[in-house]
Amino acid sequence: MVEPHAEAPEGTIGAERPQIPPAIAPVRSEERIPAVDTIRGFALLGILLMNICSFGLPDAAYANPAPAGGATGWNLVTWWIMEVLADGKMRAIFSLTFGAGVYLLIDRLSRKGAAENAADIHYRRMLWLMLFGILHAYLIWDGDILFYYAVLGLVLYPLRKLSPRALLIAAGFILIAMCAGAAFEHRHLMDEQREYGEIRADEKAGMTLSAVQQDTKRDWEEIVARQAPSADELKTETDAHLDGYFKLFVFRAKQVYRLHSAPLYWPDPWFDMLMMMLIGIAMIKTGLLTGAYSSRFYVWMALASFAIGMPADIWAVSYISRHQFSIDAFSLILSEYEVGRFTAFGYIALIILALKSGILRGVTRTLAYVGQMAFTNYILTSLICTTLFEGYGFGLYGKLQRHQLYGIVLLVWLVILIVSPFWLRRFRFGPLEWGWRSLTYWKRQPFRRSEAAGPRAGLAARPDTL
């Protein structure tokens, strides 16, 4: 969610060299990198393709269509499409642009002679974001990602000086570790499933279970409850969402506490996001994220990314479907998950190609507005969806089938696509971006525009202007 900061690109057609503003100040509109804003806007909209299931259905239905939302007909088709095209990819792009934004902020301050203030500003920015994330998670929606980004943002500061090569090597090691960890987890899960079968047989034979067997039994039943909850468990979760706000707050708080208590060294979700943030820093350093390479390069980047990611995901969802959404099937394909996310780089390449060629200028310009207001739009999405689905709102939770949820997605997209350009033509920042910046710099920032100027639709011409 960090907004990119950079000097106005030299060589941009029609761009005048702006007067250098004070070093310790938020980025100005003419200093932004439109490609990063556009890519972030695309990811912000795309994330809702997956998050809508968490807003409108029980948690288990997010990845597994069998527990709720429907697993046949159009519901199954919808699950297939989203698993192949969206799951993990949009979060990957969002994380990638976050890492790029962290680097750009610090680099901008350093180049303007405020290097000694960079750490103070960066860490204050991340700590405020952490607070925003905690409030969002506990008070609005437990699927918050801001808390995780803020914690990892604290880690990124000393890593920003690594070379692109070192950053990519580090990301590669994380990828290998995650795939190996998933394979180990699958093996452990299968052993636990076998042991559970033996324990159940002992119970039927009237044998007394040992303490270890009781722990194994409890662990396995918790896994099953998360992956394929019973009708009673689904009803309990649904009733909590359709009850009053206070009861939902208590129910949600338990979930948030468990998620936020996960150790930082645990692969999911920390490594997932950190890996992409490191790649994002490498891509902004090399100019790859700003269109510094030839169109031919981006064509091959798109083709290679789709050729790796999509077949892997198609195989995975086919395997899961053939095995009736079983726990062992989901567990087996966890190692494939990161391979399927290569599709994200294909999306980035296509967006940059659109910007370089000038086609779909209206679409890319609007996406840039959405990306520039990503923080506000992220929270706005939560407010709209919780109002529609929760019991203290319109109470649609659990009442729509999976494919019907995407009507809500289109509605939210429409609101964001209309509000973002309307707002930014009149104000310098989104309302939450303005508040975040004012808190970060510990000074009230200008809010209204002195003159109408929106994000440009072009690309930074040279990587050294980053």
pLDDT at 219: 84
Q: What is the mean pLDDT of residues 124-151?
A: 96
pLDDT digits (tens, 9 = 90+) for 289-303: 999 999 999 999 999
Q: For residue 132, what pLDDT is reported?
A: 97
Give the range among 48-62, 81-95, 232-246, 258-272 with minimum mean pLDDT: 258-272
Share of the chain above pLDDT 70, in %: 89
> What tens digit of pLDDT does each residue of 161-206 get?
999 999 999 999 999 988 888 888 888 888 888 888 888 888 888 8
pLDDT for res 354: 96
pLDDT at 28: 59
Q: What is the 3-state secondary structure (H, E, C) of the chain?
A: CCCCCCCCCCCCCCCCCCCCCCCCCCCCHHHCCHHHHHHHHHHHHHHHHHHHHHHHCCHHHCCCCCCCCCCCHHHHHHHHHHHHHCCCHHHHHHHHHHHHHHHHHHHHHHHCCCHHHHHHHHHHHHHHHHHHHHHHHHHCCCCCCHHHHHHHHHHHHHHCCCCHHHHHHHHHHHHHHHHHHHHHHHHHHHHHHHHHHHHHHHHHCCCCCCHHHHHHHHHHHHHHHHHCCCHHHHHHHHHHHHCCHHHHHHHHHHHHHHHHCCCCCCHHHHHHHHHHHHHHHHHHHHCHHHCCCCHHHHHHHHHHHHHHHHHHHHHHHHHHHHCCCCHHHHHHCHHHHHHHCCHHHHHHHHHHHHHHHCCCHHHHHHHHHHHHCHHHHHHHHHHHHHHHHCCCCCCCCCCCCHHHHHHHHHHHHHHHHHHHHHHHCCECCCHHHHHHHHHHCCCCCCCECCCCCCCCCCCCCCHHHC
The share of the chain scoring above pLDDT 90, in percent, equals: 63
The pLDDT assigned to 24 comes to 60
pLDDT class of 29 with cuts at 50, 70, 90: low
Provide mean pLDDT across the span 348-352. Answer: 97
Please, which pLDDT band fits residue 32 given cuts at 50, 70 and 90?
A: confident
Residue 15 has pLDDT above 50, yes or no: no
Contacts of 318 (CB under 8 A, 6+ apart): none
pTM of the complete model = 0.87
Closest CA to 1 of 421, 416, 371, 456: 371
Residues 255-269 pLDDT 10s:
999 888 877 766 677
pLDDT at 7 over 70: no
- What burial class does residue 81 get, using C-beta atoms within 10 Å of its C-beta: 0-12 exposed, 13-18 middle, 19+ buried? middle
Q: How far apart are the first and last CA of the chain?
A: 18
- On average, the pLDDT of the chain sits at 87
Whether residue 463 has pLDDT greater than 50:
no
